[in-house]
């Protein structure tokens, strides 16, 4: 692993988000300087985002409450700080939300990312790492999903915007020599996670004796990836500047059936869930399964936190955070 250089300055967008918070926290613990940006939108509980930010407060952390659509603010940030690395994690998340709120995805995921690329074009940095998503694989039926597979049949607007990000990055590297690496995340979970994710809402409802909605009658498979594995992968990727545009899958390489996932969560909580079985939702896919052979080849890392271990860590955090 190429070590992270604490003399560099790392700009993390979406820093109050789940992955952004964990990455910034790890960078700060290693003595790095972090400039963070987040618009603190209300897609989910803003209080959780503010609590994350409180934990990042130190002399090496500078926070900007701003939106990526604000080009002037981005210009100010790049003028004010000698940024060397950009990790763009800011985005409007959620497959289902994109069906009813398309404008939010165009603003944040398209215009926002374009503004980041333009800022870097005017203020060159060593490396741009940006978040894509496993959702780009869309209707792909070949498993496991390889970064060499076709990704031109998305089934949600969210997926389409993430595929567009990959195309934008490739174009800007070709035109302006901006060094870019895209990372396709596979169902990231863990402490300080996103309340809109199934594992989070299931935990809340099971503890409150509420019924959980189980789509496709529980016959769906997801490659759940623990947050610590994601941060480890990112910290290998960030210092290595690619010659050509590159993309990596970051997944556990071990899909779990939804019903088994619920069973594991029940075992950790010590309580059975009341289940409401429903058909597949629009925008959902039957299975996600990451081929991480390129990531393993280039960095020699292993991603294999068992779902039981990861859920135990999450539930312990949840009980502590909410005093339940």
Report pLDDT digits (tens) over 119-174.
999 999 999 999 999 999 998 889 999 999 999 999 889 999 999 999 999 999 99
Across the chain, what does the average pLDDT equal?
94
Q: Tell me if 9 sits within 8 A of 83, measured CB to CB.
A: yes
Choose among 85, 36, 119: nearest CA to 241.
85
Integer angstrom CA distances of residue 194 from 74, 93, 217, 242, 269? 26, 10, 23, 31, 18
The answer to whether residue 59 scores a pLDDT higher than 90 is: no
User: Could you give the C-alpha distances from 257 to 58, 186, 254, 260, 316, in angstroms and in order?
Assistant: 41, 14, 10, 5, 23
Cα–Cα distance measured from residue 192 to residue 25, given in angstroms and rounded to the nearest whole number: 12
Boundaries of every domain in the chain: 9-187+224-253
- pLDDT tens-digit series, residues 146-156: 999 999 999 88
Model pLDDT, residue 2: 65
105 assigned to active site: no
Query: Count of alpha carbons within 13 Å of 158, Cβ hemisphere only?
Result: 21
Tell me what the mean pLDDT of segment 77-95 comes to: 93
38-42, 145-149, 269-273, 279-283: which range is least confident on average? 279-283
Q: What is the CATH number of domain 9-187+224-253?
A: 3.40.50.720
| Residue from 43, 158, 199, 289 carrying the catalytic annotation | 158
Query: In this predicted model, what pLDDT tens digit does every residue of 225-261 receive, in sequence order?
Result: 999 999 999 999 999 999 999 999 999 999 999 999 9
pLDDT computed for residue 136 by the predictor: 95
Q: pLDDT confidence of 8, banded at 50, 70, 90?
A: very high
In this prediction, residue 134 carries a pLDDT of 94
As a whole-number percent, the residues of the chain with pLDDT over 70 amount to 99
Tell me the pLDDT band of 1, cut-offs 50, 70 and 90: low
Classify residue 52 by its DSSP letter. H
């Amino acid at each position: 692993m190429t070590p992270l250089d604490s003399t560099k300055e790392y700009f993390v967008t979406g820093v109050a988000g789940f992955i952004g918070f964990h990455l910034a926290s790890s960078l700060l613990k290693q003595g790095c300087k972090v400039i963070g940006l987040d618009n603190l939108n209300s897609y989910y509980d803003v209080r959780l985002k503010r609590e994350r930010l409180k934990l990042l407060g130190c002399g090496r952390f500078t926070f900007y409450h701003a939106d990526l659509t604000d080009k002037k603010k981005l210009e100010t940030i790049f003028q004010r700080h000698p940024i060397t690395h950009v990790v763009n994690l800011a985005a409007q998340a959620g497959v289902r939300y994109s069906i009813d709120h398309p404008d939010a995805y165009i603003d944040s995921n398209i215009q926002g990312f374009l503004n980041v690329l333009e800022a870097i074009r005017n203020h060159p940095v060593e490396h741009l790492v940006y978040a894509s998503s496993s959702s780009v694989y869309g209707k792909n039926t070949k498993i496991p999903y390889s970064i060499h597979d076709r990704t031109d049949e998305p089934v949600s607007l969210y997926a389409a915007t993430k595929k567009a990000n990959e195309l934008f990055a490739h174009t800007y590297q070709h035109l302006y020599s901006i060094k870019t690496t895209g990372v396709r995340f596979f169902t990231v979970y863990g402490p300080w996670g996103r309340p809109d994710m199934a594992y989070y809402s299931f935990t809340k409802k099971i503890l409150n004796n509420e019924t959980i909605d189980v789509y496709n009658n529980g016959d769906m498979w997801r490659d759940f990836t623990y947050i610590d594995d994601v941060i480890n992968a990112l910290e290998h990727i960030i210092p290595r500047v690619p010659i050509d545009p590159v993309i990596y899958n970051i997944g556990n390489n071990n899909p779990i059936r939804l019903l088994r996932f619920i069973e594991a969560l029940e075992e950790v909580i010590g309580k059975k869930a009341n289940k409401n079985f429903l058909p597949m939702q629009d925008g959902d896919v039957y299975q996600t399964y990451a081929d991480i052979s390129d990531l393993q080849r280039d960095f020699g890392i292993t991603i294999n936190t068992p779902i039981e271990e990861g859920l135990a860590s999450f539930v312990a955090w949840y009980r502590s955070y909410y005093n339940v």
